[in-house]
A and B are shown apart, each in its own frame.
Chain A
Amino acid sequence: MNAIPPKPTIDLATGHTVRRYDEELAKLRGIIIDIGQRVVEQTQAAVIALIEREESFAYRVLDREPLIDYLSLDADEEVFRMITRRQPTAVDLRIVLALSKIASEAERAGDKVVRIARQVLELLGLDIATELLPDGLKTLMLELDDKACSMFDRSIHAVDSFDVTLSLAIFEDEPKLYHASNEVRRLLGESSQEQMTPRQTVGLLTIAHALERIGNHATTIAEQVIYVALGQDVRFRNREILIDTLRHHGY
């Protein structure tokens, strides 16, 4: 009996005999990358709205969010069309299934951005005597935003080339994301009522939680990238062992 190693990163250089199939796969992937890039841009815009007290940025996020929903519907339509017309198998099947899940994850990340924008607008509308975001908290919130956006941005880049190495780097950043999120929570917990109103605390906690969830969506996307590239479902696996194993194999 032959022992079969897991496959190296997939090689999609050889196109399909039916070229339209390649175009359809590229179109589906393009839609998802578009959704992902919009999520990153709008997350940054929503956090800038909070930091700079700039309402227009938050409104812009709310205005643009339906586009993510429409793109997600487009992705679903492409998935249905490809399953019907092409009956994908092997790596193509994994790509179509994974892209369908990734589209859903990216759309849900878009919902988190809307949650952030709404909270920002509510916070900006509060009549408070104190600073909306004290300096220490501002720095921590920016760090959390930076971590979440960086993870999400790289997850979308990983989708572009089904890059296992990049996916592992996203997994490796997960503890840093939780650390940044915990730091925000810790500081909010330590704030006295004189420094911050309860409504303000709840709003900022909600924003921190939404940013953490955006980072979580990035790790879920990275799992799907590994599923496509290696044909192995790595959900619910011990992350540290998984990273060690794949790093050991040269990824």
Chain B
Amino acid sequence: MSATIATMEKATGAMSAAELASARHSRETVGDFTTANPRMTCRDVDVWYGSKQAIKGVSLDIGKNEVVSMIGPSGCGKSTFLRSLNRMNDTIVGCRVTGSIKLDGQEIYDKGLDPVPLRARVGMVFQKPNPFPKSIYENVAYGSRIHGLTNNKAELDGLVESSLQKAGLWNEVKDRLDQPGTGLSGGQQQRLCIARTIAVSPEVILMDEPCSALDPIATAIIEELIDELRQNYSIAIVTHSMQQAARVSQRTAYFHLGDLIEVGETNQIFTNPQHKLTEDYITGRFG
């Protein structure tokens, strides 16, 4: 919560201008990283690639029915942090994650926890649309088949239809479900991947630059979809487009060299960020 001059008026023992300047340059996370209704809670998360530390003691909540955007320059660790939320980093040799990441209160890095069902609960959409070389129908049905979520063909048909509808793709593909998913346009392919993610009933959807390969119209459609999906899911999105972060998210987190520098309401971050590094980055002063 940003203290206003009004709260400063009521405060006692207030800071001097010099102390304020010091706080503005600190590497401690500025802002409230908690949320009232968290779906995922991350505390003091470190991620190492061998001897290189990519994430340094990051704490952040992903709330229910909210979109959290993660921004920062290349190499700041935002994608690494995102991938640690559904253990995608497990596949990288030498990658080590410490700290606590909980999904609905359950530690996701518990040794006994199977990452495969975890990745159904915490789905992921990647930068480049990556439909399977299968039909549109099979792309959406695939996850349900391997997780055994439906009992018969009718149920599966219903799931495919509802998933494509939620992804805003049903009307465009309902007459050609047997055609290859790879034959769709880039934007349609990305929405197919979102439908595939939704089909396994996730609680959280992670999106790693989901629109960077799309034109502005396809991007607008995905952004509209993100806003609709928020009603049912928690969404964490990594984006290099600050305008996109400003448009789609309720909270924004700014990463810099592995540190979570600042987190806050998106409106506040883009109009009045508290940390100089955040301000320099979003105003294009980052050297």
Residues of A whose CB lies within 8 Å of any CB of B are 1-9, 11, 14-18, 21, 87-94, 230-232, 234, 237, 241-242, 244-246, 248-251
Q: Provide the residues of chain B in CB contact with A245, threshold 8 Å.
A: 5, 8-9
Q: Judging by beta carbons under 8 Å apart, are A1 and B279 in contact?
A: no
Q: Provide the residues of chain B in CB contact with A249, threshold 8 Å.
A: 8, 14-17, 20
Cβ of B111 within 8 Å of any chain A Cβ, yes or no, is no
Q: Provide the residues of chain B in CB contact with A11, threshold 8 Å.
A: 276
Closest to A17 in B: B284
Q: Provide the residues of chain A in CB contact with B28, threshold 8 Å.
A: 2
**Contact partner of B242 among A1, A89, A230, A242, CB < 8 A?**
A89
Chain B, interface residues (CB within 8 Å), range: 35 or more
CB distance from B265 to the nearest CB of A (A): 12
Instruction: Given the known inter-chain contacts A2-B29, A17-B285, please indicate yes or no for A90 contacting B3, CB distance below 8 A.
Output: no
CB distance from B235 to the nearest CB of A (A): 22
Q: Provide the residues of chain A in CB contact with B279, threshold 8 Å.
A: 90-91
**Contact partner of B17 among A4, A17, A250, CB < 8 A?**
A250
B1-56 interface (Cβ within 8 A of A): 1-6, 8-9, 14-21, 23-24, 28-32, 34
Closest to A230 in B: B5
Since A4-B274, A21-B284 are in contact, a sample of 7 more A-B pairs with Cβ atoms closer than 8 Å, ordered by chain A residue number, is A4-B3, A11-B276, A17-B285, A17-B287, A93-B270, A94-B272, A245-B5
Q: Judging by beta carbons under 8 Å apart, are B8 and A14 in contact?
A: no
User: 6 A–B contact pairs at CB < 8 A?
Assistant: A5-B19, A11-B276, A17-B284, A89-B271, A91-B279, A230-B5
Cβ of B91 within 8 Å of any chain A Cβ, yes or no, is no
Residues of A contacting B: mostly: loop
Closest to B286 in A: A17
CB distance from B259 to the nearest CB of A (A): 14
Q: Provide the residues of chain A in CB contact with B286, threshold 8 Å.
A: 17
Q: Provide the residues of chain A in CB contact with B63, threshold 8 Å.
A: none
Q: Judging by beta carbons under 8 Å apart, are B287 and A14 in contact?
A: yes
Closest to B32 in A: A1
Instruction: Given the known inter-chain contacts A2-B29, A249-B14, please indicate yes or no for A89 contacting B5, CB distance below 8 A.
Output: no
Cβ of B282 within 8 Å of any chain A Cβ, yes or no, is yes
Closest to A95 in B: B283
Query: How far is B243's CA from A89's CA once the two chains are assembled, in angstroms?
Result: 9
Q: Provide the residues of chain B in CB contact with A89, threshold 8 Å.
A: 242, 246, 270-271, 282-283
CB distance from B124 to the nearest CB of A (A): 28
Q: Provide the residues of chain B in CB contact with A16, threshold 8 Å.
A: 283-285
Query: How far is B21's CA from A249's CA once the two chains are assembled, in angstroms?
Result: 11
Q: Provide the residues of chain B in CB contact with A6, threshold 8 Å.
A: 3-5, 8, 20
Query: How far is B286's CA from A15's CA once the two chains are assembled, in angstroms?
Result: 9
Q: Judging by beta carbons under 8 Å apart, are B5 and A251 in contact?
A: no
The listed residue with most B CB atoms (<10 A of its CB), out of A5, A6, A17, A244, is A5
Instruction: Given the known inter-chain contacts A2-B29, A4-B3, A242-B5, please indicate yes or no for A91 contacting B283, CB distance below 8 A.
Output: yes
CB distance from B153 to the nearest CB of A (A): 50
Closest to A92 in B: B283
CB distance from B264 to the nearest CB of A (A): 9
CB distance from B140 to the nearest CB of A (A): 36
5 tightest A-B CB contacts, nearest first? A250-B17, A231-B272, A8-B21, A5-B20, A14-B285
Closest to A15 in B: B285
CB distance from A100 to the nearest CB of B (A): 15
CB distance from A18 to the nearest CB of B (A): 6
Query: How far is B283's CA from A108's CA once the two chains are assembled, in angstroms?
Result: 31
Q: Provide the residues of chain A in CB contact with B274, threshold 8 Å.
A: 4, 7
Instruction: Given the known inter-chain contacts A5-B15, A6-B20, A231-B272, please indicate yes or no for A87 contacting B5, CB distance below 8 A.
Output: no
Q: Judging by beta carbons under 8 Å apart, are A232 and B15 in contact?
A: no
Closest to B273 in A: A90
Q: Judging by beta carbons under 8 Å apart, are A250 and B18 in contact?
A: yes
Query: How far is B21's CA from A251's CA once the two chains are assembled, in angstroms?
Result: 12
Q: Provide the residues of chain B in CB contact with A94, threshold 8 Å.
A: 271-272
CB distance from A216 to the nearest CB of B (A): 21
CB distance from A16 to the nearest CB of B (A): 5
Query: How far is B24's CA from A4's CA once the two chains are assembled, in angstroms?
Result: 9
Cβ of B228 within 8 Å of any chain A Cβ, yes or no, is no
**Contact partner of A4 among B2, B21, B242, B287, CB < 8 A?**
B2
